Amino acid sequence: MRLMIVGGGGREHVLAEAATRSPRVDHLICAPGNAGTSAIAENITIDPTNIDGIIATAKDHAVDLIIVGPEAPLCAGIVDRAAAEGLRIFGPTAAAARIEGDKSYAKDLMRKCNIPTAEGRSFTRVADAKRYVATRDTPQVVKASGLAAGKGVVVCDDPADALNVLDDMMVAQRFGEAGATVVVEERLRGTELSVLALVDGRTIYVLETAQDHKALNDGDQGPNTGGMGAFSPSPLATPEVMHIIDGEILVPIVDGLRTEGAPYRGVLYAGIMLTPGGPKVLEFNCRFGDPEAQAVLHRLRSDLIEAIEATVDGRLDSVELEWDPRPALCVVMASGGYPEAYEKGKLITGLEDATALEDVKVYHAGTRRVETDVVTNGGRVLGVTASGDTIAQARDRAYSAVDRIHFDNAHYRRDIGQPAE
């Protein structure tokens, strides 16, 4: 099989690593990939949102299957286009991907399906949003309804702060069209849990769980990011909790999308807050989480490509995956300044020393090769991932590897995984 993976982040590197372990894959292409994927695949420089270019490249290289990593091309309809061109592709259609691409739509659909979530409302006019916020006396969360690379969510402990955030999103247009519509909702209290599942339209296969660290700095301080680290499995995902999530969240949303005429096929990500009142949905994503994918797929022993093909073909009920029972933990090393402006082109050293450690893998994200060197090329640069008999051992191994890697102004959290200890 000739396989193409669309995207160039840490999620795509771990997908590529999994693909190299599959006897089904003869040739692997990453578009555009990064310095890490260049060692195991043919990188082709093309923007993942250039759907015409992706389709043409897939045809030119006689690709048998396309796996789409990022949300932007999925929401833009790459699956619909590929299917119309007779190409086999893994991911939801644009209509189904709207569950991530339009938070206002997702909120309405959750209400329609009686899925537990935060109380809130959507607004297209800043004056209406401000009038609503003025009636609130508890912490609020303001979300850009469109895609904002994981950065369009702002928690306002003082409701008055939400007024400035609304101006930032809707008037100053910090996130462009993504912030033209906003969702304002109550802040939920509890611990976050990431649940990923393969869905073939009807069958739901829940993968191993994870916990993500969204905030930039230790102690969950600072602005939200795309994710600064993750670990898997979550000790909070008890059979009782997962039974509730399956019955009250996953099944209703998959049924609801099918009823809407948008049957879901691909990876469905549910960001859950475990509140005193039970699990509630923070958001749905239409793809593998990043960095959750690094922690979860690092533990996969089965053939991922076999499971993905079963999802595409609608025979997911025949799949049984095997996992390394040991936990895995991923620490994200980011460029200084992220999630705001940052510099690129910083030389990265110590990668070989880090990967020589026991049970350690360094997944590349914002990197590129310059002759024999590897340099920074994005906000989140590396996902340093390790396994261990315990979360504590996985943490120690991951941070030992982090300490061996250097680039100017590197930033990372020192407390990834501590809530699990």
Residue 270 maps to which CATH number?
A: 3.30.470.20
In a shared domain, residues 266 and 195: yes
- pLDDT band of residue 143 (cuts 50, 70, 90) is very high
Rounded to whole angstroms, the maximal C-alpha distance in the chain is 60
Domain final residue pick, 135, 162, 186: 186
pLDDT in tens, 327-366: 999 999 999 999 999 999 999 999 999 999 999 999 999 9
Domain limit, last residue, from 160, 186, 212: 186
> Is residue 113 included in any domain, yes or no?
no
List all residues 6 or more positions away from 52 whose beta carbon is below 8 Å from its beta carbon. Answer: none
pLDDT, position 304: 97
Based on the fold, state whether residues 276 and 338 are members of the same structural domain: no
Q: Are 249 and 271 in contact (CB under 8 A)?
A: no
Number of domains the chain contains = 4
The verdict on residue 240 lying in a domain is: yes
The enclosing domain of 34 has a CATH number of 3.40.50.20
Tell me the pLDDT tens digit for each residue of 196-231.
Answer: 999 999 999 999 999 999 999 999 999 989 999 999
- 420: pLDDT strictly greater than 80: no
Highest-pLDDT range among 118-122, 172-176, 347-351, 417-421: 347-351
Q: Are 93 and 278 in contact (CB under 8 A)?
A: no
Neighbours of 62 (CB within 10 A): 8
**Position 131: which residue type?**
R
Residue 233 inside a domain? The answer is yes
Q: Which CATH number does the domain housing residue 351 bear?
A: 3.90.600.10
Rounded Cα–Cα distance for residues 77 and 94 (Å)? 5
Statement to judge: residues 299 and 346 lie in one domain: no
Selection from 281, 273, 284 nearest residue 191 by Cα? 273
Q: What angle do CA 113, 115, 121 make, to 5 degrees?
A: 90
| Whole-number pLDDT of residue 266 | 98
Report the C-alpha gap between 288 and 266 in whole angstroms: 9
Res. 131: pLDDT tops 80: yes
> Is the domain of 255 the same as that of 162?
no
Cα–Cα distances in Å, from 155 out to 143, 216, 323, 379?
A: 9, 13, 35, 21
How far apart (Å, rounded) are the C-alpha atoms in residues 253 and 245?
Answer: 11
- Is there a single domain that holds both residue 166 and residue 199? no
Q: For the chain, what is the mean pLDDT?
A: 95
Domain boundary among 271, 293, 318: 318
Regarding pTM above 0.75, the answer is yes
Indicate whether 168 and 201 sit together in one domain. no
**Residue 334 lies inside a defined structural domain of this protein:** yes
% of residues, the chain, pLDDT over 90? 93
d(CA 146, CA 60): 33
Q: Contact 140/186 with Cβ under 8 angstroms?
A: yes
280-303 tens-digit pLDDT? 999 999 999 999 999 999 999 999
If asked whether residues 312 and 413 sit together in one domain, one would say: no
How much is the pLDDT for 221? Answer: 93
User: What pLDDT sits at residue 151?
Assistant: 80
How far apart, in whole angstroms, are the C-alpha atoms of residue 75 and residue 77? 5
146: domain CATH number is 3.30.1490.20
Tokens of 12: 């795509």
The residue assigned the tokens 């880090």 is 354
Mean pLDDT of 33-59: 97
pLDDT tens figures, 379-388:
999 999 999 9
Confidence of residue 421 (pLDDT cuts 50, 70, 90): low
What is residue 44's predicted lDDT score, i.e. its pLDDT? 98
Is residue 199 domain-resident? yes
pLDDT band at 160 (very low <50, low <70, confident <90, very high): confident
Co-location of 314 and 375 in the same domain: no
- Residue 303 to residue 118: CA distance in whole angstroms: 37
Q: Let me know whether 203 and 181 are in one domain.
A: no
Classify residue 32: in a domain, yes or no. yes
Residue 97 domain-assigned (yes or no): no
Q: Residues 293, 365: one domain? A: no
Give yes or no: residues 170 and 199 share one domain. Answer: no
Residue 159 has pLDDT above 60, yes or no: yes
Q: What percent of the chain has pLDDT over 70?
A: 99
Q: Give the tokens for residue 63.
A: 């690709």
In a domain? residue 297: yes
Rounded Cα distance between 52 and 179, Å, is 26
Cβ atoms of residues 103 and 75 within 8 Å: no
First vs last C-alpha separation in the chain: 42
C-alpha–C-alpha distance, residues 127 and 182, integer Å = 12
Please state the φ and ψ torsions of residue 51, each to the nearest 5 degrees. -65, -40
Question: Residue 78 — φ and ψ, nearest 5°?
Answer: -65, -35
Task: Give residue 103's pLDDT band: very low, low, confident or very high (50, 70, 90).
Answer: very high
- What mean pLDDT is predicted for residues 106-120? 95
- pLDDT exceeds cutoff 90 at 137: no
Domain that holds residue 8: 2-91
Of 60-64, 149-153, 354-358, minimum mean pLDDT range: 149-153
Q: Which of 55, 121, 112 is nearest to 88 (CA)?
A: 55
Question: Both 146 and 52 in a single domain?
Answer: no
